[in-house]
Amino acid sequence: MADPILFYEPFDEHGFLSNFYPSNILLESKVWPTSEHYYQAKKFTSPQIINAIYSAPTPEKAFELSRTYQDEVRANWEEIKWQTMDFIVREKFSQNSQLAFWLVNTGSEEIKEHSHKDSYWGDGGDGTGENHLGRILMTIRAELCTTSPYNLTRFVDVAKLPTQWGEFQMNAFVELEHDKEHLALVYGDISQVDTPLIRLHSECLTGDALFSDRCDCGYQLARALQNIVNEGAGILLYLRQEGRGIGLLNKVRAYHLQDDGADTVQANERLGFPADMRRYEFCQGMLGYLGVKQVRLMTNNPRKVKALEKAGINVIDRVSLQEGKNPHNENYLKTKASKLGICWTLLSLNRVFLIPLKRRSPLSNVRGLVFTVLYRLEEGNY
């Protein structure tokens, strides 16, 4: 049996479960800085005392003030204190969705407030307490676990990922419905960015790791990571949806059909698949865990914008990512534009510049030199 999750101090591991953890809660035009402020204030009916506790600079000070005025606690407090705690803890997680994702990610382990000072809300320090706060948290968790978007993904772990562009934090997730593994590469402090720059990049082994010029995927991956670093903060979601969702082996079969004259859409359809099987609704679980509600999305694909917005992520801006056009993928890009709605700007050959750029496979130490051809851009899309 797994050990219970113990919490007490707000900035220790699992400290977000504490009533002392900073979490703004809007109620009746007042923004309470913590659930502790609200709980302590509700002990009283005096507007002056309530306002003093509301204005307390810290939850510790709010707690102290309630002790100072303990002779003025409302007569029925013992009757209503459980309902008061249940209400404000629910509001805390309802209004702070990132905390709700973190709560769900505690799994099925027992949750206990590990306080030797409180045997009613906590475990009394020796495990014999009634642990009512822990019970409330576990009830809320059970309800969230059956509710979208909290039941879409599960966070697994995070590790540093140094790259040629900079050091990212590599967050691993499991998509629960299909048991697929996905990554969120985070650069910088996204908590300080209201609308971070992000990219949804579907896995492409041939383009990302094997330098294939049949597509533009590897080029776009490199450019997206560079753009995020240049921005100072951002996220790249690396999604395990090889071959627009048909998988690696079927992708090879589709390439064979393309070698025989089919375009990229016809090849998928001849194999019995839709033109694009990728899904993006589960991305809300990944972005929500990271605390992201609105984004600037790097993509040439309007469908990704619609999919994210349908999933509840507000796309403030679509940032074009036109990278990697070459003689081997020109027909591929034209097909994506004409049949899949991908926005590729119509290019003129009137002016051509060759600019050498370093390109490196994420899975290899091999360095190569590729050339990006920059054309004079003209109005219009494929």
Options 67, 278, 317, 359, the catalytic residue: 278
CA distance 95 to 285: 16
- Residue 290's nearest CA partner among 171, 374, 195 is 171
CA distance 205 to 21: 43
Listed in sequence order, the residues at least 6 apart from 23 whose beta carbon sits closer than 8 Å to its beta carbon are 16, 33, 34, 35, 92, 95, 96, 99
- Alpha-helical segments (H) within 260-343: 264-270, 283-289, 302-310, 330-340
3-class secondary structure for 148-166?
Answer: CCCCCEEEEEEEEEECCCC
CA distance 268 to 266: 6
Is 278 one of the annotated active-site residues of the chain?
Answer: yes
Distance of CA 320 to the CA centre of its chain: 21
CA distance 183 to 362: 14
With vertex at residue 176, the alpha carbon angle to CA 103 and CA 11, rounded to the nearest 5 degrees, is: 20
Is 244 one of the annotated active-site residues of the chain?
Answer: no
Structure tokens at 39: 């709980």
With vertex at residue 121, the alpha carbon angle to CA 116 and CA 127, rounded to the nearest 5 degrees, is: 50
Options 141, 263, 276, 359, the catalytic residue: 276
- Residue 97's nearest CA partner among 16, 216, 28 is 16
Q: Which amino acid is at 2?
A: A
Question: Is the N-terminal amide bond of 196 cis, ω within 30° of 0?
Answer: no
CA distance 376 to 380: 12
| Residues catalogued as catalytic | 276, 278
